[in-house]
Amino acid sequence: MTFAGRYRAGLALAATIFLATPAVALQPAPAAPPATAPAAASVAEPRPAIWLLEDEDTKIYLFGTTHAFPATVRWRSPRLNEIVATADELVLEIAEQGSADFASSSMSADDFARMLLPEPSPILDRVPETLRPRLRAALDAIGAPMERWDRMHIWAAAFALSGIRAAEEATARFGADALRAEQSSAETVLADAFRQRGKPISGVETGDAQLGALANLSMEDQFAFLEAALDGRGMGAVGNDLNAGTWTRGDVDAIAAEMATMPPVLIQALLVNRNRTWTTWLTERLERPGTVLFAVGAGHLVGSDSVQVMLAARGLTVRRID
C-alpha cells in the first residue's frame, strides 16, 4: 500500500525485464484457502480511515490509499465523497500516480535503467556466501537466465523477488482469475474526480526520489532486503491490496500489523524517512489557506511512526473523522 504503486510494478517486473517468455514462470505456491471476501463484497458500507489536520483557515484531510485492487471493490464512503467534492486540491505521493498511463504501466525506461549495473557482474558473487545457496535456488525456480539477474543491482533484484513472491502469494490466495480482473487504484479514481472539477493535482515527492529510497540503501541493508525477499517478507504482505477489506473498513490496526511484516531496513527507508519529509511538507502547507486532500499509502498513516504521530510531536493535532 505504499511506494506509489511501484510494488505493483514489481509484480510485472519479471515479465517485462527478466523473462523471455510473456509470463512469469512461478513455482507452484502452497495451497491456501480462498479469500472469504473477493473483490466486490469487502464491506457493505465502506468507511476507509480519514483524519483532519486544520487551523483557522486551512483544512488538510489525510486519507490512506491502496494502490492496486480489483475495480469492483466498493471503497468510497459518503465522507470521502464529500471531501472530494469540496477540496481545493489533491496531493498524492507523486503527481503521476493520478494518470491512467501510470496505473497501467510497469516501470518507466528511467526506472528500469536505474536498476541496471553499468556492466553485468555475477549476482551470486556479489552476495554473502550465506545467501548464495538460497538465492541460487530461488532464481533457478523462477527460470530466468542467470545473466539477466547479473545485470541488476542487489536492491533491484530484491525488489523483483518481492514482486514475484507477492504474485505467488496472491495466486494462491485469490486465484489467477482475480489477478486477471480489471484493476483500479485509489489515486487514479481520485485524480479523475479532481480533474473533472478543474482542481490541481500535485505530488509530495518525485518518482526518482522513491526509487532512490531503495537505490541509496547501504550494501549491508541491500543484503538485508534481499534476505527478507527470500524469506517472503520483502516489501510487506499484499493482502490489503488484493482483498481490500481491512482498508475499506478503516481497520488501521490490521494495516499497521501488515506493515510491521516488512524488515526494519525497509520500514526505515520506505516509511519512517519519507514520513518525516511529508510531516515537514504538511506543517508548511498548514501556513497557507485552503482545503487539501492529502492521499498517500495507508501504511504511512498507521503505527507508531505514522505521519500523525510525527505531526503530534510538533505540537499539531490530527483527529480521525471517519
pLDDT in tens, 137-177: 999 998 888 999 999 999 999 988 887 877 777 677 666 77
Q: Is residue 168 part of a domain?
A: yes
The answer as to whether 218 is a domain residue is yes
**Residue 36 is assigned to a structural domain of this protein:** no
- The Cα–Cα gap between 57 and 297 comes to 26
Range with the lowest mean pLDDT among 190-199, 206-215, 271-280?
A: 206-215
Contact 155, 214 (CB under 8 A): yes
**Grid cell digits, residue 50:** 480519514
CA distances to 74, 179, 245 from 175, in Å:
20, 7, 17
pLDDT at 312 over 70: yes
Cβ contact 206:281 at 8 Å? no
**Block residue for cell numbers 524488515:** 263
Asked if residue 37 belongs to a domain, the reply is no
The yes-or-no verdict on residue 36 having pLDDT over 50 is no
Domain enclosing residue 157, as ranges: 3-28+43-320
- The grid cell for 93 is 505521493
Calculate what percentage of the chain has a pLDDT beyond 70. Answer: 76
122 φ/ψ angles, rounded to the nearest 5 degrees: -55, 120
Q: What is the pLDDT of residue 144?
A: 85
Q: How far apart are CA 179 and CA 168, in angstroms?
A: 11
Q: Bigger pLDDT: 144 or 278?
A: 278
The reported pLDDT for the residue numbered 216 is 93
Model pLDDT, residue 207:
79
Domain assignment present for residue 150? The answer is yes
Asked if residue 305 is part of any domain, the answer here is yes
101 — pLDDT class (breaks 50, 70, 90): low
For residue 152, what is the DSSP state?
B
- When pLDDT is cut at 50, 70 and 90, the band that residue 304 belongs to is very high
Give 151's DSSP letter: T
Tally the domains of the chain: 1
More confident residue, 19 or 94: 94
pLDDT winner (highest mean) among 12-16, 121-125, 181-185 = 121-125
Q: Please, are residues 48 and 77 in contact by the beta-carbon 8 Å criterion?
A: yes
Question: Residue 307 domain-assigned?
Answer: yes
Evaluate the CA torsion angle 88, 96, 237, 155 in order and state its sign. negative
Closest residue by Cα to residue 273 from 196, 213, 226: 213
Summary mean pLDDT of the chain: 82
Confidence of residue 125 (pLDDT cuts 50, 70, 90): very high
Does residue 35 lie within any of the structural domains? no
Residues contacting residue 93 through CB under 8 Å, at least 6 positions apart: 4, 187, 203, 204, 205, 210, 296, 297
Q: What is the pLDDT averaged over residues 204-212?
A: 85
In the block, cell 481491512 appears at 246
